[in-house]
Amino acid sequence: MTSFKGIKILLVDDEPNIVQFLELGLINEGFDIRVAYDGESALAEASVFQPHVVILDVMMPGMNGFEVCAALRATGDNIAVIMLTAKDEVEDRVKGLTLGADDYLIKPFSFSELLARIGARLRNQFPNLLGEVVYGPFRLDDRRKELIYMDQILELSPTEYELLRFIILNNGVVLSKSLILDKVWGYQFGGEENIVEVYIRSLRDKLNDKEHRLIRTLRGAGYRMDLP
């Protein structure tokens, strides 16, 4: 489970029934919630509340969601914007993303899907805000920089931690050596790709992954983790 304590969400929609439903659900998940029913109020609230995430309806009277999104981006603040729309039109989605939206949800949607989208944006933009997150047999705590596997804290170097964290967060995705170098070591790294093999071997030893069932090698492609 993920701890959402201290994470602030601004909910912007002109439909009271939707606002009430989402507000209750998000409060129950532990988020700190503020509500606005129009674009002007949303911008005023955002300037004071400083939310991490804005859930923003597109179709509102007066200042619409596109205009609010553009205004939020103009502030330069690091805010994750998830736009809601009743229109399943490519042009609307493209317009929102072009103006700086991070994600899009088409009404009607399930609360669990919204929660998953929020979690994805937080992991991407605010990983240090999240408490302990469970991924299969792993428990990841970014604030403590700890990875727990099978109830045992792994003794990892900073690079090993970042590498294993990157692999876990990309569960099910094939990760090439060059991508791993870019994301873990950084674009300025001037070493050889075989450094990835060295660190993968070390991680497998610490995970007792002798048969490579946790971190799989895909010959010529890279590595992949398959967690339930």
Rounded to a whole number of angstroms, the distance between the first and last alpha carbons of the chain is 15
Q: What is the pLDDT of residue 154?
A: 95
Q: What is the pLDDT of residue 2?
A: 59
Q: What is the pLDDT of residue 175?
A: 95
Name the packing angle between helices 39-49 and 65-74 (round to 10°): 30
Q: What is the pLDDT of residue 139?
A: 86
- The position carrying tokens 């994470």 is 7
Give the phi and the psi of residue 140 in degrees, each rounded to 5: -110, 125
Q: What is the pLDDT of residue 3?
A: 61
Q: What is the pLDDT of residue 151?
A: 86
Least Cα distance to 148 among 159, 163, 164 occurs for 164
Collapsing DSSP to helix, strand or coil, 47 comes out as helix
The CA-atom distances, in angstroms, between 109 and each of 36, 83, 117, 202, 224 are 20, 12, 11, 43, 31
The model's pTM is: 0.60
Which pair of tokens denotes residue 124? 């991407």
Q: What is the pLDDT of residue 131?
A: 67
Q: What is the pLDDT of residue 189?
A: 61
Contact indicator for 174, 210 with CB cutoff of 8 Å: no
Q: What is the pLDDT of residue 95?
A: 82
Q: What is the pLDDT of residue 146?
A: 87
Contact indicator for 23, 31 with CB cutoff of 8 Å: no
Q: pLDDT tens per residue, the chain (228 residues)?
A: 556 778 999 999 999 999 999 999 999 988 999 999 999 999 999 999 999 999 999 999 899 999 999 999 999 889 999 999 887 777 777 887 888 899 989 888 899 889 888 988 887 788 777 667 778 899 888 777 889 999 899 999 999 999 999 999 888 999 999 899 988 988 556 667 789 999 999 999 999 999 999 999 999 999 999 887
